[in-house]
Each structure stands twice: as C-alpha cells, then as structure tokens.
Chains A and B, each alone.
Chain A
Amino acid sequence: MVAQLLFFYFGGMAVAGAVVAIFNANLVYSALALLMTFIHIAGIYILLNAEFIAAVQIIVYAGAILVTYVFVLMLFNPEQEKRYFHKQYKIGGFLGAALLFLMLFAGFKTEILSQAGPMTAESIQEIGHTRAIGMALFTDFIFPFEIASLILLVAMFGAIVLAGRGKIRKRGPGGRVDLSSRNVTKEAS
C-alpha cells in the first residue's frame, strides 16, 4: 500500500515535471522542471530495487547532463519568445496522443513469454545491488563496456573540435539575422 502511494507520488511528479518542461516558455524553468522529473524517476528506480541505477541517475542526469544544458542556456542567454510553439502544434499534440493510445493498446495486449531469471530481489539484496551490477558489467558485458568508453572518447574529441574554435559572426549568410538573438551576438563579440 505504501509502495503504491509512493509510486503515485513519484510517477505523478515525474509526469507533471515533464509537462511543465515541455509547455513552459522560459528555457531555464524548463530545465529545472526536467530536473524534478529526473529526481523522481530515481525514486521510481528505488521502488524497483535498483538503488545503484537510482544513484547513477541522480549523479549523471541531474548532476552532469542538466548542468551542461543550463550552462549552454546561460551561454546563449535566449530572450523570451512570444511564439515558442510551431504553427502545427495541434498536429503534434494529436500525433503524441495517438502514439500514447497505440502504445497502451499494444502494451496491454502483449503477453510475456520469457522465463523468470535467477536474479530475484532477495538474491540481489544478499550480495548487494552494486556488486551484482559490477559482476555482470565486467564479465558478460565487458565488450560493450569498452565500446562505451570509446564512444565517450569520440564524443569528447568531437565536442572540442566542434565547439572549440572560431569567432561568432555578426550576421548569417544572406544578411539574415534573427532579431531575438541580436543582443547576444553584440555582447559576445
């Protein structure tokens, strides 16, 4: 009963944060609403007996990724736009609702065919969740682990190469300048 109440709290706050993030005009508010979503998703992971994943969720998503977003937002200093939705926002909303309906339909019609594995909640608790993850990561998944390190290395080089040189130009090609970002360019150059 307590677990179900906690699920409703965490899930409801996660969905509410996501909705606020999508429909808010201010980008910094959107990022902070998404921070709320990520922290409550970590609570969902704890309900699912995955403490280590919850900790990693908070450290990586809430700690690193969102801070990077907020940092870049501060770099651009975007002005508040009056029109921050596409003209076709009704079509977008309809497509999202249709997708949700389709996924719910498919998800509840599907039967689960696989057998239950050996890692019950008790056996994971016995050896510790971090230890169970580590043992799986460094035995069965050692090759994907190495690939992941390579991906991170390439991403680091790519970010440095893409963002690390050149000056900000005053105006784009053809003399078209976005009015909403003119102040930013002046301050930066």
Chain B
Amino acid sequence: MIPLEWYITLGFFLFSIGVVGVLIRRNIIMVLLSIELILNSANITFVAYSNYHQIITGQMMVFFILTMAAAEVALGLALVIALFRVKTTLNVDQINLLKW
C-alpha cells in the first residue's frame, strides 16, 4: 500500500518544475508546455485524493481539467500563430505591447 503523501509529493514536485519552467523559459511555446505540466500535477493530486477518500468526484474534476486543457491548447497555439504573424518572434521578452 502506497501512502497518500507520496502521490501528493509527486504532484508538488511536478507543479514546482512547471512553475520554474513558466518563470525561466523565454520561448512562449515552452511556457504553454509548462502550464500543461502544472495541470497534470493537479490531476495527480485529484486522482490520489479521490482514490484515498473513495469519492469519485475527483476523477470527474480530472475530466473537466482535461477538457479545459484541450481548449487552452487550441486557443493558446492559435494566439501564438496570430502573434507570430504580427511580431515575427516567439520570445516572451519581446512581446511587451498591448497594442500596435
């Protein structure tokens, strides 16, 4: 039997790695990929608590997070493509205007 804390710790580690990725990478696609990592760590925590509390609601949350992640990828990458048309860069340091 694996203790619940191990799964929670794994979720924490993945979340921290994702946050570090969002903070330090300069490429906007890498930032979006790090956000996927953060969502996955939330999913692990949800499923772990769902299994140990014997309530299936947590796994429903994983479902809706998955839907949201798919929508986020579609919209985020479309925004990146639209941004690249105007700015011709993927570097988040150079994307610093609200209007041009």
Contact = CB atoms under 8 A, between A and B. Distances in A.
Contact of B7 (A44, A60, A68, A159): A44
B27 A78 contact: yes
Interface in A138-189: 140-141, 144, 148, 151-152, 154-156, 158-160, 162-163, 166-173, 176-178, 180-182, 184-185
Contacts of A7: 2, 6
Given A53-B59, A96-B19, A151-B71, A21 B90 contact: no
Contacts of A41: 40, 43-44
| Most chain B beta carbons < 10 A, residue from A75, A154, A172, A185 | A172
Nearest to A71: B77
Contact of A121 (B12, B32, B40, B51): B51
A93 B24 contact: yes
B68 A151 contact: yes
Nearest to A133: B59
B20 to A, nearest CB: 4
A141 to B, nearest CB: 5
Given A85-B26, A152-B70, A181-B90, A15 B17 contact: yes
A53 B10 CA distance: 18
Interface string A1-32: 00110010001001100110110000100110
Given A27-B30, A162-B78, 14 more contacts: A3-B2, A37-B37, A38-B40, A44-B47, A68-B74, A78-B90, A89-B23, A100-B15, A116-B54, A133-B59, A151-B67, A163-B82, A169-B88, A173-B100
12 contacts: A85-B24, A86-B25, A88-B23, A112-B53, A116-B55, A137-B63, A140-B60, A155-B72, A158-B74, A167-B85, A172-B88, A185-B88
Interface of A: 3-4, 7, 11, 14-15, 18-19, 21-22, 27, 30-31, 34, 37-38, 41, 44-45, 47-50, 53, 56-57, 60-61, 64-65, 68-69, 72-73, 75-76, 78, 81, 83-86, 88-89, 91-93, 95-97, 99-100, 103-104, 107-108, 112, 114, 116-121, 124, 132-133, 136-137, 140-141, 144, 148, 151-152, 154-156, 158-160, 162-163, 166-173, 176-178, 180-182, 184-185
